[in-house]
Chain A
Amino acid sequence: MSAVVHGVIALVPDACTSCMICVRECPTWCITVESHAEQVSEPGARRPRTVSVLDRFAIDFGLCMYCGICIDVCPFDALEWAPTIDHSSASRDGLVHDTERLSGWRMHE
């Protein structure tokens, strides 16, 4: 058995390109991604490149069924299982974890 249980889902914000693949594949519609486009000029490049910058990534664990499809489909490994299972909450809003809380669930090697 794997050491990593299907606990909470953690986010690696630096790896996320806000490509929306996880949001669109999620069967329960529990992921929200907000982002904006920025122009990046690189030395030697003819014209500036447009990149998406992540503003907010949120998972509503009140809707999530822990299927892990988002983790499987992410091409950039920006989502991963973390072993925590005590992320229950006394309020409905407390089950919505945004960028900071999701990245805090990461396991440190």
Chain B
Amino acid sequence: MSTGMQTVPREAWHETFAGLVSDGFGYLDLLTAIDRGDEIEVLAQVVNPDGAELMRVSVRLPSDDPSLPTIADLFPAASWHEREVAEMFGVAFAGHPDPRPLLRRTSLGRPPLRTTTVLAARVAMPWPGAADPESAGKGARRRQLPPGVPAEWLSDGPR
């Protein structure tokens, strides 16, 4: 299966997929998002079942204004994926036929999958790995920190 890849500006998002549909890419394989820090990347993959071709299209949106036109009019299956990306990453899909949250009860609070969203459970619970039996009675050597957790999230971390 041959794979193509393209990055498009947000204005070209809908027309890119409209063009792909008329080229035979009628199957939506994937639509998801990645938090790149300053930007939210929305990524969709469509398949042309006849030619066994795969096309990956991505768009970079500014984190403070992540909005995008819906492609649910071209691919009904995009509806659920866009609802998930909307509630998890805070991306607004303009013209979406059913913009209710898909998995969460409400869209209140910060989008959970944005890297700037603090995981409350990591703040509330002390890290069990902080105990250091090897240096017990000798004074702590180097303070152990949980991997992958920003220091300011920790209940005993810097504020």
Contacts and interface: CB of A to CB of B under 8 A. Distances in A.
Interface stretch (A23-31, A77-85, A96-104): A23-31
B152 to A, nearest CB: 17
Interface string B123-155: 001011101111011000000101100000000
A24 B146 contact: yes
A33 B131 contact: yes
Interface residues of A, number: 16
A36 B135 CA distance: 10
A23 B128 contact: yes
Most chain A CB inside 10 Å of its own CB: which residue of B125, B128, B131, B147: B128
Interface of A: 18-20, 23-26, 29, 31-37, 52
Chain B binding surface, main DSSP class? loop
B128 A36 contact: no
A29 B128 contact: yes
12 contacts: A19-B134, A20-B133, A24-B147, A29-B125, A29-B146, A32-B128, A33-B131, A33-B133, A34-B131, A35-B133, A37-B133, A37-B136
B82 to A, nearest CB: 28
